[in-house]
Amino acid sequence: MLPPGLTVHSSVTDADWRQMRDLLALVGMGHYAPELHQRAFENSFAVVFLREATRLVAMGRAISDGAYQAGLYDIAVHPHFQGRGLGRFVLRSLLSQLEGMNVILYASPGVEPFYEKEGFRGMRTGMIRSLSPEKMYARGFID
């Protein structure tokens, strides 16, 4: 159940790319020019936004081959709305569109329990060829 006053959006119609960039920046996640987020979300397999009126309060997206592999990205909840089940709502909304698929993601360090509650397990051989390995190292994502 969503708190009253929030609406769910499962398409990029009316998405506000600037607010998206600002939300990712606010929670300390990777963020880019709004146009790049637009391209990423428009090319994604599934998207979910939660809004309070026109204000973006939570978001997430999945990429996929549409058959058996998928990955989750850009899952974020505005700090004022965290701890009220919105992250779980976004995660479950995306997973419901990925039935029958393996789903991977990389969690921000410390956030692993949030995903473990929905059935995710740590990977022993996960690897990334990152655009910014130094930043990822500094933030504890990679060795």
Binding site for ligand COA (CB under 6 A): 27, 29, 75-77, 82-88, 107-108, 110-111, 113-114, 117
Q: Give the residue nearest to ligand COA (CB).
A: 87
DSSP H or E run through 20: helix 17-26
Between 12 and 107, CB nearer to ligand COA: 107
Between 62 and 75, CB nearer to ligand COA: 75
Between 45 and 81, CB nearer to ligand COA: 81
- Residue 129, Cβ neighbours under 10 Å: how many? 5
Question: Contact 75/59 with Cβ under 8 angstroms?
Answer: yes
CB 120 → ligand COA: shortest distance, Å?
10
Residue 47 DSSP SS3: strand
d(CA 57, CA 103): 24
